[in-house]
Structure 1
Amino acid sequence: MESFKILEIRQSVFASNDEEAAKLRAELKEKGVFLLNLMSSPGSGKTTTLTRTIEALKDEMKIGVMEADIDSDVDARTISAAGAKAIQLHTGGMCHLDAGMTRQGLEGLGTGDVELAILENVGNLVCPAEFDTGAVKNAMILSVPEGHDKPLKYPLMFQVCDVVLVNKMDVLPYFNFDLEKCTEYVKMRNPKAQVIPICAATGEGMDAWYGWLRREVRAWRGEETKKENGHE
């Protein structure tokens, strides 16, 4: 009796997903839609960071948000109240989204009037990192109470992220969190990743995050090139 070849199945699934993700990214490029995949563990302040971001940028660009969760519509209601187009995605118990599921979400959201689409992925540091969603960039939030050693414990998450937001800097004096060590560990996993300390609750450091996001969206949409050529 043959045993199941789990590794081969996983490789097949990942290969198929990577192809779908690349196709989705190409389609988004044609439409001028920037898709950001935002990941974190539960309680890191992801929704608070997102609402602050929407409030700061909604007059500059059209924003749409896909809230992924196993159940409930709490986050989608919060995001909608902040002034962004929002849709809630229920994953049916799955702890991640892949490219196919993200495509379904984008179709439900409707991207005809969206310049920045944000996927708030399911809250955990393992599964979401394993699947390319088709996003242009990956961002993750690590909160001070979680500890500065998380890049050592969850290497893949930090390997796939383009930017790491270290949130809840206001409680730094009360936790044994070493920002310098954390940055060092992130760079060990991904030398190109940018680390931005923030406090979404107070607004500390958020301008640096907004600046990073603005630049990435403009570059993806070709707006920097237009400005350089003398166009608005």
Structure 2
Amino acid sequence: MSLEVDLLSKNDALAERNRRWLGEHGVLALNLMSSPGSGKTTLLERTIRDLGASRPCAVLEGDQETLLDADRITATGARVVQINTGAGCHLDADMVLGGLHTLSPEQGSLLFVENVGNLVCPALFDLGESARVVIISVTEGADKPLKYPHMFRTADLMIVNKIDLLPHVDFDVARCVEYARRARRGLEVLEVSATRGDGLPGWYDWLARRRPGRDRAGSAHDHRSGR
């Protein structure tokens, strides 16, 4: 237990260092988390293509292996750095620090951190982000917030993606939202289709209202300690 506490304390210190650097450079950093296959990369591609002309966008792409998602982001014209974690199941603040040195995002840019796909480990590690976004698709179970409550407890926004598929799947959006708000009361929720475009103006408005630095209700440390 003491080793885990030491590890997380070291990570939190590095995360604060990242957050200060990002705030000083006016960079809004978003930590995007989800299960594999939720549509994170598709949402990123669409967002960058829609917003990239008015605001510089950059991506830190987290995966265990391959450059596949990074190649997709590169095709949008955004700057991207791939971070492969090997057997690791999440990004941490030190990995993001190294990625920031390589990426060197422009002043005032949007920085998307696409975390490794799972709903457990990423929730524990503060990266220095301004806000956390958890993405769940309607092809998953609506009970995910009950099974993985800490992920939803630490989120600032939940995006329900692939709503264009609702006529073809058994997914109760209202129930999923209810479960998520059991984990975090008042959690903001957006319903979108990254492929068809439904709900994306609401997502872009949410991004426009965010500010660099400590824009979140609390860090991962705050949520772990019950603050």
Say how many residue pairs are matched.
215
- Which structure is higher in RCO with an 8 Å CA cutoff and minimum separation 6? 2
In the alignment, what sits opposite 2:39?
Answer: 45
Residue 123 (str. 1) matches residue 117 (str. 2): yes
- Higher relative helix content: 1
In the alignment, what sits opposite 2:156?
Answer: 162
What does residue range 31-70 of structure 1 map to in structure 2 within 5 Å? Answer: 31-70=25-64
Deviation at 1:147, TM superposition (A): 1.4
Residue 206 (str. 1) matches residue 197 (str. 2): no
Task: Check 1:188–1:174 CA distance in 2 against 1; reply closer, same or farther (3 A cut).
Answer: same
1:173 to 164, 167, 176: 167
Whole-angstrom CA distance in 2 between matches of 1:220 and 1:16: 18
In the alignment, what sits opposite 1:140?
Answer: 134
Deviation track 1:142-198 (CA, whole Å, cap 9, x = no partner) reads 000111110000011101111111001111122221111111111111124211000
Which amino acid in the other structure matches residue 199 of structure 2?
A: G
Question: Does structure 2 retain, via aligned residues, the 8 Å contact 1:32–1:220?
Answer: no
Q: Percent identity?
A: 45
1:22 to 5, 16, 21: 16
Unaligned runs of 5+ in 2: 216-227
Question: Does structure 2 retain, via aligned residues, the 8 Å contact 1:125–1:157?
Answer: yes
Whole-angstrom CA distance in 2 between matches of 1:54 and 1:9: 39
Whole-angstrom CA distance in 1 between matches of 2:54 and 2:174: 33
Whole-angstrom CA distance in 2 between matches of 1:74 and 1:108: 19
In the alignment, what sits opposite 1:229?
Answer: none
Residue 194 (str. 1) matches residue 188 (str. 2): yes
Whole-angstrom CA distance in 1 between matches of 2:204 and 2:213: 14
Which amino acid in the other structure matches residue 127 of structure 1?
A: C
Which amino acid in the other structure matches residue 100 of structure 1?
A: D
Whole-angstrom CA distance in 2 between matches of 1:170 and 1:71: 30
Could you tell me the TM-score, scaled by structure 1's length?
Answer: 0.88
Which amino acid in the other structure matches residue 89 of structure 2?
A: C
